[in-house]
């Protein structure tokens, strides 16, 4: 901006073209104009692992400027995984969180969305509610406050996270609901997008996806169904929900 004020317009344009053509590192200011989403298979790591070790596992991550955030899980026992999320800046660990879910639930982290600024969402999985600290403590007053009834089916949790320290602001569960007995059924998030106000979630939902009012849809054909839910940014409400072959 300093150069554009001091140079004639045509010279300023030429200068800008040279800068854009150069292979320069992305600064945080430029990175914040770019949005990244990474959804995939969770990989295992610990808070003591180096960035190189975690990066080489090719799990979900988002990168802006010199900051990389990775999500995954740690195998804490032969039957139990707990989610992990870690941030590095210039290759140095900035923070790591291992306290989101510490119960016997077999949970993982498998997705991230970041706008390069203050909007960071994490996607996690859950297979049931167990005694102890889990995402229910972050979900009070949100769209779905718990896993629900039953257990074993893998469902999703979406959490709004502070990118500076990894703290969870709030979270919601995102599940399917069996129409015949009301028990929880599986749902896996496949994509996230953000328009500055609302968070759009794409997912594969098994019988049956939930309407915006959380009731089960009426569907035909076999699952999984391609499901889309548009959340308010604070995860308190779904503005609309739809699924292929469902109403």
Q: Which of 114, 40, 47, 31 is nearest to 83 (CA)?
A: 47
Residues 13 and 60 in one domain: no
The predicted model gives 151-156 an average pLDDT of 97
pLDDT digits (tens, 9 = 90+) for 219-244: 999 999 999 999 999 999 999 999 99
DSSP code, position 55: H
Q: For residue 17, give its domain range.
A: 1-25
Confidence band (pLDDT; 50, 70, 90) for 18?
A: very low
Residues 17 and 52 in one domain: no
Q: How many domains does the chain have?
A: 2
Residue 137 above 70 pLDDT? yes
Residues 232 and 120 in one domain: yes
Residues 7 and 62 in one domain: no
Task: Please report the DSSP string for 2-44 in residue order.
Answer: HHHHHS-HHHHHHHHHHHHHS-PPPPHHHHTT--EEEE----B
Residues 6 and 46 in one domain: no
Residues 130 and 159 in one domain: yes
Residues 101 and 7 in one domain: no
The model's pTM: 0.86
Give the Cβ contact number of residue 126 at 10 Å. Answer: 27
Q: Give strand pairing partners of 159.
A: 122, 171
Confidence band (pLDDT; 50, 70, 90) for 179?
A: confident
């Amino acid at each position: 901006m300093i150069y554009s004020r001091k140079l004639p317009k045509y010279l300023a344009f030429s200068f800008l073209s040279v800068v854009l053509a150069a292979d320069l590192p992305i600064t945080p200011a430029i990175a914040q104009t770019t949005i990244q989403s990474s959804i995939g298979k969770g990989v295992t790591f610990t808070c003591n692992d180096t960035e190189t070790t975690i990066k080489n596992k090719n799990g979900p991550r988002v990168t802006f400027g010199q900051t990389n955030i990775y999500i995954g899980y740690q195998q804490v026992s032969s039957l139990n995984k707990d989610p992990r999320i870690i941030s590095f800046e210039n290759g140095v660990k900035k923070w790591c969180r291992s306290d989101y879910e510490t119960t016997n639930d077999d949970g993982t982290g498998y997705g991230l969305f970041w706008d390069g600024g203050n909007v960071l969402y994490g996607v996690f999985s859950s297979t049931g509610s167990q005694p102890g600290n889990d995402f229910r403590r972050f979900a009070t007053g949100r769209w779905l406050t718990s896993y629900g009834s039953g257990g074993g089916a893998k469902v999703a949790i979406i959490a709004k996270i502070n990118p500076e320290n990894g703290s969870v602001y709030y979270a919601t569960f995102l599940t399917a609901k069996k129409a015949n007995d009301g028990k929880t059924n599986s749902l896996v998030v496949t994509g996230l997008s953000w328009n500055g106000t609302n968070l759009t979630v794409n997912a594969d939902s098994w019988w049956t996806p939930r309407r915006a009012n959380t009731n089960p849809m009426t569907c035909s054909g076999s699952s999984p169904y391609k499901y889309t839910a548009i959340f308010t940014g604070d995860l308190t409400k779904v503005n609309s929900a739809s699924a292929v072959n469902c109403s």
